Amino acid sequence: MAHVSEEQKKADNRARVTTEEFRAFVKEGWAPRPDTRPERAEVAEYAARRRAAISLAFPGERLIIPAGGLKVRSNDTDYVFRPHSAFAHLTGLGADREPDAVLVLEPLFDAAGEPAGHEAVLFFKPLADRESDEFFDDTRYGEFWVGARPTIEDIEAELGLSARDIGEFADAAVKDAGQIGIRMVRDADRELTAQLDTSRVEHGQAEETMAEQDDELAHDLSHLRMIKDEWEIQQMRDAVDATKVGFEAVIADLPRAIEEGRGERWVEGVFGLHARHQGNGVGYDSICAAGDHANTLHWIKNTGDIDEDDLILLDAGVELDSLFTADITRTLPASGTFSDAQREVYDAVYAAQQAGLAAVKPGNKFSDVHAAAIRVIAEHLHAWGLLPEGVSVEDTLDTEHGQYHRRWMVHGTSHHLGIDVHDCALATRAEYMDAELQPGMILTVEPGLYFKSDDLLAPERFRGIGVRIEDDVLVTEDGHENLSAHFPSRSEDVEAWIAQVQSR
């Protein structure tokens, strides 16, 4: 069989389904577009402040922050588009927006040639005319197939920054490389990064230090998200509230999830329905883990049954259109009532979580939260006689020699939360684990205990029981506010919650 190029195949396909007459015909007869512009987005002024902060860190340099492009799922279908988190944070653009766009912070200089801030310019693919070939011929971007995009004027009105056609980006990005510093976020769009690397070097930017300089930008953009502004805090409140709707829908449907079989799938679907309805969708793959599956920390297969006697661990969060996501875990008795052994484990985790929550206050370090929670976990394990003979609580907490308790809780207690479920991931240890908590930080507090069914060192009554309790917490001036405090968490309160939701 003769080799046929991809381009030729596409052209052949097009010829098969269209005629010149049809292609001319389909471009005509559409109503004029409305000349109204979108209102200024509420987030615009906050995004401008974030850009101002990053502008101060890189005076006189061009900063390039791509949204990223469409990603092929298989053959001719793409994944739903999600912009890079740094792009979303600096523009305010969230779900579905804008594939292939690039934010450029263009350095400005005063009369004396000194750096004087940056101008924000969004390069993107503006809406094409119906007369254009793109309108019908381009099934990936054409309005006929995927709907209308904003115009240049729309974006400028919505975001309060300058917008230009993406076609002008390549030249604008590198025109004076070698004379001014140019940094870009490298992991948003690998193809664009490779192209720009080549053209930056061609235009005289030093190759040896380029990636390193880019990484400094990525780090600063990640760290910039650590203290949330008031708009972000409200997004997080809304995400948590939306998540509660999903949890209660799951609770209401637990009897059916048991009865139908394949109950973990049912739980995932019910939560996903409400995540999609309340917000943009789930902020990460939900963990819907019944019985022993809860002991597999990253159980996202969700393929199991739920038995009447199981605990079901639901770790899930609604992501809003702004991409801010909640991250909540509750461990629920499927029957509505904890068994004695389940309650014993659950109450230990609850006590650890209370200790962790109490440590969330300014002046304490991020790592103090884990230290407080893990101590309570270690104390329970010691009291149950599970630590090796002669190992005290202090011995196991010793980070150089002990750590036996980690067999039953291997993960950390907290992470920052925001646009990414594990937010601020490029912050250094000094800025993250070892940093003091400050008002405006939002973190999770999520201790757990996990006794695998085949763990011969666990008491028989505990085997197959896994429990985690996770809340989303805002650090305030004088302590913290638990944003998910309205999710019941004491064992008795969880039982009352299930009974109340199921009797509605």
Question: Can you give the binding site for Mn ion, defined by CB under 5 A?
Answer: 327, 444
Of 163 and 445, which CB lies nearer to Mn ion in the complex structure?
445
3-state helix, strand, coil in the chain (%, to 5): 40, 15, 45
Q: What is the four-CA torsion angle of 483, 489, 495, 497, rounded to 10 degrees?
A: -10
- Per DSSP, the three-state class of 175 is coil
Q: Which residue has the tokens 């739903």?
A: 80
Element (H, E) at 74: strand 72-74
Residues pairing with 78 in the sheet? 72
Q: In what order do the strands lie in the sheet with 162-165?
A: 162-165, 115-124, 102-109, 62-66, 182-184
Distance CA 225, CA 86 (A): 9
Q: What is the four-CA torsion angle of 194, 195, 201, 207, rounded to 10 degrees?
A: -10
- Please, what is the minimum distance in Å from the beta carbon of residue 232 to Mn ion? 18
- Please, what is the minimum distance in Å from the beta carbon of residue 470 to Mn ion? 5
Of 193 and 329, which CB lies nearer to Mn ion in the complex structure?
329
- Please, what is the minimum distance in Å from the beta carbon of residue 333 to Mn ion? 22
Contact 429, 223 (CB under 8 A): no
Of 104 and 421, which CB lies nearer to Mn ion in the complex structure?
421
Q: What is the four-CA torsion angle of 429, 432, 433, 435, rounded to 10 degrees?
A: 100
Outline where DSSP puts E strands in 24-61.
none
* Residues in CB range of 217: below 8 A, 6 or more apart: 54, 58, 63, 183, 184, 185
Residue 373 has phi, psi (to 5 degrees) of -70, -45
Distance CA 271, CA 275 (A): 6
Within a 10 A sphere around the Cβ of 72, how many other Cβ atoms?
A: 11
Of 85 and 193, which CB lies nearer to Mn ion in the complex structure?
85
- Please, what is the minimum distance in Å from the beta carbon of residue 416 to Mn ion? 10
- Please, what is the minimum distance in Å from the beta carbon of residue 370 to Mn ion? 13
Residue 493 half-sphere exposure, CB side, CA atoms within 13 Å?
9
Residue 414 has phi, psi (to 5 degrees) of -145, 155
- Please, what is the minimum distance in Å from the beta carbon of residue 380 to Mn ion? 21
Residues pairing with 354 in the sheet? none
User: How many H helices and E strands in the chain?
Assistant: 16, 17
- Please, what is the minimum distance in Å from the beta carbon of residue 421 to Mn ion? 7
The 8 Å CB, 24+ separation contacts for 396-405 are: 405/374, 405/377, 405/378, 405/381
Of 141 and 284, which CB lies nearer to Mn ion in the complex structure?
284
Of 97 and 416, which CB lies nearer to Mn ion in the complex structure?
416
Of 445 and 494, which CB lies nearer to Mn ion in the complex structure?
445
- Please, what is the minimum distance in Å from the beta carbon of residue 121 to Mn ion? 36
Residue whose C-beta lies closest to Mn ion: 327
Of 217 and 421, which CB lies nearer to Mn ion in the complex structure?
421
Of 203 and 411, which CB lies nearer to Mn ion in the complex structure?
411
Of 415 and 452, which CB lies nearer to Mn ion in the complex structure?
415
Of 235 and 444, which CB lies nearer to Mn ion in the complex structure?
444
Strands 442-445 and 311-316: unpaired
Of 327 and 495, which CB lies nearer to Mn ion in the complex structure?
327
- Per DSSP, the three-state class of 412 is coil
Contact 108, 139 (CB under 8 A): no
Element (H, E) at 468: strand 465-468
